[in-house]
Amino acid sequence: MTRTVHVPKELFDGRRYGFAQVVTVPTPFGTTVHVAGQVAWDADQKITGEGDIGRQLEKCLDNLAAALESAGAKLDDVGALRLYIVQSEMRQGKKIADALKARFGDKLPCSTWIGVTGLADERFLIEVEPSPVYLNR
């Protein structure tokens, strides 16, 4: 079985950093979609919401939606998220919860919030990584 690398135009091209944003892998039962952790960068690596974790999370979720769409999936297909949150922002739970509820409504995925000392760019306050999505379409 052959895996496919997707390069969504809405996201920066991670291949120059040694990773793919989206990879699909066919299985006998359908397709598995793997998505890299998403941060608040746009396609030109400009940050959205510098200093504001709520706005950064909104951009992360926009990026996640674009990544999934490139592989034929959608946010509703996500069962779980890992949120990597810079330790100094862990008390911003309301902003984080509000952004998640605004995007997912009453169909929230499971989530794990992990406090970290830092992310790939010192301006990033949060990174969102979904569990693999399984499509049997």
pLDDT in tens, the chain (137 residues): 699 999 999 999 999 999 999 999 999 989 999 999 999 999 999 999 999 999 999 999 999 999 999 999 999 999 999 999 999 999 999 999 999 999 999 999 999 999 999 999 999 999 999 999 999 86
> Is 37-131 in CATH node 3.30.1330.40?
yes
Rounded to whole angstroms, how far apart are CA atoms 63 and 30? Answer: 24
Rounded to whole angstroms, how far apart are CA atoms 97 and 99? Answer: 5
Q: Is 96 helix (H, G, I), strand (E, B) or coil?
A: helix
Per-domain boundaries in the chain: 37-131
